[in-house]
């Protein structure tokens, strides 16, 4: 994972004053969402299910528990989860506040069970169950489903009959101040954009007469939050709990997504260290305790990722102090009353920026994990999840109703398990079997030919006692005319390329990329011409390549796959084509096309073909070029077999071979071992 440049690293403790201010900024940055969840749940349920003071206290306690469980190695602030708004409201209507709280505790227990299984069996199964194609759309749904709440806070939802222009002005002002602070502020102000934005929006609201201070005047300085406790406030029941429980799929997915996104931002893989089992345990314990005290369920917070991403402050010290402030603030009656006077428009201005980040994080999960939307299965999974998750779907099974996000999560998991993993892979596998059958038949033909004396190199296959073609392995000796790229990056790319699970798109890209590396090496002796240029500072004599002097000649078809990489680095080279295929029976090259640029004889020619197997195709292509008078030729391939190298060096000792790997041998069917299979078919997805 790429190291990230952080202003404050995970274990860095800032000086006291800065620490306090940063912690306040963190806790306030979370405010928009933390206090909004109780407000929205109550509005949806039509009764008081949650309160702001309890939400603050449970988010603080939850964060401290999380820090404890993760041994202070993960910079995450836990806050009220938006994923629970609808389930909590529905649960409370069905089974009262107690039923909703029991549901949340059950979700916490599910987290802890999953964490325990991961600790014992590892996390591979969870990745299979919740791969990026399920997690990405899930996080997008959570973010996008909040979009309308930000818009309604601003007061410009479609259908709003009387627009409160003062509110809209405040929201826009808050948004602009936050955005400008992010973009332009210097030093410390740059890392507290949300605090600056909210404070500015609040001041403007006071000036415009949008704030009513009566609740603050009436509130006590200190007050105990209204905790809702099991067996005291209610008797736990399982009915509504089962309706809420499926949401665990969503929030576990969100948890993994947030941690993956945060890992990228801070340059440390949190899924490995402290480990998914510990982060899930912390999150689960926090959610359980929230249910126990009557607060909203906790989540690892997309907003936290956004704030850490923007401020580059990943200090657990800052987050821990923010948690303590949240707990204390929950007991400050005057303060919570003051918070309740923050106009919706101010929250809307900040949310406009924050909620988008959640959805964008979902997109990032898809992009960073290279989810290929060229594959129909991915399109089907994401499409159905997005529509069900955002379209307000709900399915009742007995007393349990699965709706919205839960339904999208369940469907995403099921589709991912049921749909064929990879169309191409399945086809490849089938074709591989067919090919083997076909080639066994072909081997028999070769045996026949051998028997008739048509092939000189023959040997016995001890295993099945049939005669097969085998080309003698050449001795491995230092060779000036053979350059094997020896570089960790090339080795890395080759390992993906060789993998039979690698799909067409990635395979094609890798062939181009390795082609580029080969070109880089082959141009090592290139002659440069002197030119005079002027830098912004002064004139200098510089050196340039005369790109026009070069010609690239891919051998059709597979050679064209390498072309992309080469023309990226020498875009003005001329391009020709040599059409040739290898007869499957005799392994001899068959010519079918030849078109080269004018004046080819005066150019330096790079012949491209990913595979140098028996060497038949490469040698014949070069022979044709020599017939045209070309004298300056290099041969570039991804994988060479010793047999092909030997043939090339015998027939064209003047041609230098550049390859990314020199493999072990050819098999009885003329394929390179271990090789990568049929290059042409894998590049073009023809089998």
Q: Which does 587 bind (CB under 5 to 8 A by kind): ligand PRP, ligand URA, none?
A: ligand PRP
User: CA 601, 606, 612, 614: dihedral to nearest 10 degrees?
Assistant: 10
Report the candidate in 350, 360, 358 with the shortest Cα–Cα distance to residue 181. Answer: 350
Which conformational region is residue 383 in: left (phi greater than 0), alpha (psi within -120 to 50 degrees), or beta?
alpha
Q: Dump the DSSP string for 139-183.
A: HHHHHHHHHHHHHHHHT--TT-SS--HHHHHHHHHHHHHHHHHHH
Q: Which stretch binds ligand PRP (CB under 6 A): 237-245, 369-377, 594-602, 673-681?
A: 673-681
Cα 134 to Cα 37, 61, 422, 571, 673: the distances in Å are 25, 30, 15, 40, 37
Shortest approach of ligand URA to residue 463 CB, angstroms? Answer: 21
How many residues sit in the footprint of ligand PRP (CB under 6 A)? 22
Bridge partners of residue 541, in order along the sequence: 532
Shortest approach of ligand URA to residue 563 CB, angstroms? Answer: 16
The helix/strand/coil state of 336 is helix
Query: For residues 252 and 280, is the Cβ–Cβ distance under 8 A?
Result: yes
Q: Give the CB-side neighbour count of residue 287, counting CA atoms within 13 A.
A: 33
Binding of ligand PRP at residue 644 (CB under 6 A)? Answer: yes
Binding of ligand PRP at residue 677 (CB under 6 A)? Answer: no
Output the CA angle 58-60-64, nearest 5 degrees.
115
Binding of ligand PRP at residue 679 (CB under 6 A)? Answer: yes
582 labelled catalytic: yes
Q: Which does 91 bind (CB under 5 to 8 A by kind): ligand URA, ligand PRP, none?
A: none
Q: Which does 649 bind (CB under 5 to 8 A by kind): ligand PRP, ligand URA, none?
A: none
Looking at beta carbons only, is 248 or 483 nearer to ligand PRP?
Answer: 483
Looking at beta carbons only, is 91 or 615 nearer to ligand PRP?
Answer: 615
Element of type H or E holding 665: strand 665-666
Q: Is 393 exposed, middle or buried (0-12, 13-18, 19+ CB in 10 A)?
A: middle
Q: Which stretch binds ligand PRP (CB under 6 A): 209-217, 409-417, 524-532, 552-560?
A: 552-560
Shortest approach of ligand URA to residue 609 CB, angstroms? Answer: 9
Binding of ligand PRP at residue 618 (CB under 6 A)? Answer: yes
Q: Which does 333 bind (CB under 5 to 8 A by kind): ligand URA, ligand PRP, none?
A: none
The CA distance from 364 to 455, in Å, is: 57
Between β-strands 466-469 and 458-461, what pairing exists: parallel, antiparallel or unpaired?
A: antiparallel
Q: Which stretch binds ligand PRP (CB under 6 A): 180-188, 211-219, 390-398, 551-559?
A: 551-559
- State the distance between the two ends of the chain, measured CA to CA, in whole angstroms: 35
Cα 197 to Cα 17, 25, 36, 172, 343: the distances in Å are 21, 11, 17, 10, 13
Q: Which does 671 bind (CB under 5 to 8 A by kind): ligand PRP, ligand URA, none?
A: ligand URA
586 labelled catalytic: yes
Binding of ligand PRP at residue 62 (CB under 6 A)? Answer: no
Shortest approach of ligand PRP to residue 669 CB, angstroms? Answer: 11
For the chain, how many residues are written?
687
Q: Which does 270 bind (CB under 5 to 8 A by kind): ligand URA, ligand PRP, none?
A: none
Q: Which residue is nearest to ligand PRP (CB)?
A: 680
Q: Which does 644 bind (CB under 5 to 8 A by kind): ligand URA, ligand PRP, none?
A: ligand PRP
Query: For residues 364 and 98, is the Cβ–Cβ distance under 8 A?
Result: no
Which of 586, 603, 614, 682 does the annotation list as catalytic?
586
- Binding string, residues 210-229; x marks residues near ligand PRP by CB under 6 A: --------------------
Q: Which does 201 bind (CB under 5 to 8 A by kind): ligand URA, ligand PRP, none?
A: none
Report the candidate in 35, 41, 51 with the shortest Cα–Cα distance to residue 224. Answer: 51
Binding of ligand PRP at residue 171 (CB under 6 A)? Answer: no
Bridge partners of residue 55, in order along the sequence: none
Looking at beta carbons only, is 300 or 617 nearer to ligand URA?
Answer: 617
Shortest approach of ligand PRP to residue 274 CB, angstroms? Answer: 48
- Binding string, residues 581-610; x marks residues near ligand PRP by CB under 6 A: xx----x-x-------------------xx
Which of 86, 498, 678, 682 does the annotation list as catalytic?
678
- Where along the sequence are the contacts to ligand URA (CB under 6 A)? 611, 613, 671-672, 675, 678-680
Q: Which does 672 bind (CB under 5 to 8 A by kind): ligand URA, ligand PRP, none?
A: ligand URA
Query: For residues 517 and 511, is the Cβ–Cβ distance under 8 A?
Result: no
Looking at beta carbons only, is 269 or 429 nearer to ligand URA?
Answer: 429
Angle between helices 132-154 and 344-368 (to 10 degrees): 160
Between β-strands 589-595 and 611-612, what pairing exists: parallel, antiparallel or unpaired?
A: unpaired
Which of 582, 591, 609, 631 does the annotation list as catalytic?
582
Binding of ligand PRP at residue 612 (CB under 6 A)? Answer: yes
681 labelled catalytic: yes
Catalytic residues: 582, 586, 678, 681
Residues that bind ligand PRP (CB under 6 A): 555, 557-558, 581-582, 587, 589, 609-618, 644, 670, 678-680
């Amino acid at each position: 994972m790429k190291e990230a440049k952080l202003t404050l690293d995970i274990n860095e403790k800032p000086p006291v004053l800065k620490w306090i201010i940063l912690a306040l900024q963190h806790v306030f940055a979370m405010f928009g969402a933390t206090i909004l969840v109780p407000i929205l749940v109550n509005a949806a349920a039509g009764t008081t299910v949650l309160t702001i003071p309890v939400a603050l206290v449970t988010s603080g306690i939850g964060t401290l528990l999380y820090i404890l469980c993760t041994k202070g190695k993960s910079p995450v602030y836990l806050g009220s989860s938006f994923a629970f708004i609808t389930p909590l409201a529905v649960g409370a209507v069905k089974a009262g506040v107690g039923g909703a709280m029991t549901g949340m505790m059950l979700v916490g227990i599910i987290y802890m069970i999953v964490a325990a299984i991961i600790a014992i069996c590892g996390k591979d199964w969870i990745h299979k169950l919740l791969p990026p194609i399920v997690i990405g759309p899930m996080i997008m749904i959570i973010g996008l489903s909040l979009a309308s709440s930000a818009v309604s806070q601003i007061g410009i939802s479609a259908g709003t009959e009387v627009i409160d222009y003062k509110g809209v002005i405040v929201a826009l002002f808050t948004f602009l101040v936050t955005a400008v602070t992010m973009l332009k502020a210097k030093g410390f102000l740059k890392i507290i954009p949300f605090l600056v934005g909210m404070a500015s929006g609040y001041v403007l609201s006071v000036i415009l007469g949008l704030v009513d201070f009566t609740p603050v005047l009436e509130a006590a300085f200190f007050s105990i939050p209204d905790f809702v406790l099991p067996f005291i406030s209610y008797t736990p029941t399982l009915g509504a709990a089962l309706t809420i429980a499926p949401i665990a799929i969503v929030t576990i997915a969100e948890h993994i997504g947030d941690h993956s996104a945060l890992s990228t931002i801070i340059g440390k893989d949190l899924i490995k260290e402290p480990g998914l089992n510990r982060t899930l345990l912390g999150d689960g314990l926090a959610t359980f305790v929230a249910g126990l005290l009557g607060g909203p369920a906790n989540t690892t917070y997309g907003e936290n990722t956004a704030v850490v991403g923007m401020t580059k402050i990943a200090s657990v010290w800052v987050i821990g102090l923010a948690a303590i402030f949240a707990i204390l603030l929950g007991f400050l009656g005057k303060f919570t009353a003051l918070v309740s006077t923050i106009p919706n428009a101010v929250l809307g201005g900040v949310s406009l920026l924050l909620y988008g980040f959640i959805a964008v994080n979902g997109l990032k999960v898809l992009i960073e994990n290279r989810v290929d939307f060229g594959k129909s299965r991915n399109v089907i999974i994401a499409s159905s999840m997005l529509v069900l998750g955002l379209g307000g779907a709900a399915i009742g099974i007995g007393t349990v109703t699965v709706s919205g996000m839960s339904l999208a999560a369940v469907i995403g998991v099921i589709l991912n398990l049921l749909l064929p993993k990879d169309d191409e892979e399945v086809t490849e596998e089938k074709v591989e079997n067919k090919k083997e059958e076909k080639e066994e038949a072909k081997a028999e033909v070769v045996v026949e030919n051998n028997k008739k004396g048509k092939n000189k190199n023959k040997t016995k296959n001890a295993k099945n006692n049939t005669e097969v073609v085998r080309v003698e392995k050449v001795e491995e000796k230092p060779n000036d005319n053979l350059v094997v790229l020896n570089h960790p990056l090339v080795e890395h790319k080759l390992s993906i390329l060789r993998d039979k699970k690698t799909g067409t798109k990635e395979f094609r890209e890798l062939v181009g990329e390795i082609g580029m590396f080969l070109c880089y090496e082959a141009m090592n002796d290139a002659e440069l011409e002197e030119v005079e240029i002027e830098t912004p500072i002064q004139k200098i004599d510089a050196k340039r390549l005369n790109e026009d002097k070069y010609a690239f000649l891919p051998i059709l078809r597979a050679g064209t796959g390498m072309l992309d990489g080469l023309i990226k680095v020498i875009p003005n080279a001329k391009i020709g084509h040599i059409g040739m295929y290898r007869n499957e029976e005799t392994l001899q090259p068959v010519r079918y096309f030849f078109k080269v640029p004018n004046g080819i004889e005066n150019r330096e020619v790079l012949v491209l073909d990913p595979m140098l197997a028996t060497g038949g195709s490469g040698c014949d292509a070069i022979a044709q070029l020599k017939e045209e008078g070309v004298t300056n030729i290099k041969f570039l391939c991804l994988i060479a077999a010793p047999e092909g190298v030997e043939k090339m060096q015998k027939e064209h000792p003047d041609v230098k071979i550049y390859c990314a790997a020199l493999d072990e041998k050819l098999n009885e069917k003329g394929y390179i071992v271990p090789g990568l299979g049929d290059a042409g078919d894998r590049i073009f997805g023809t089998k």
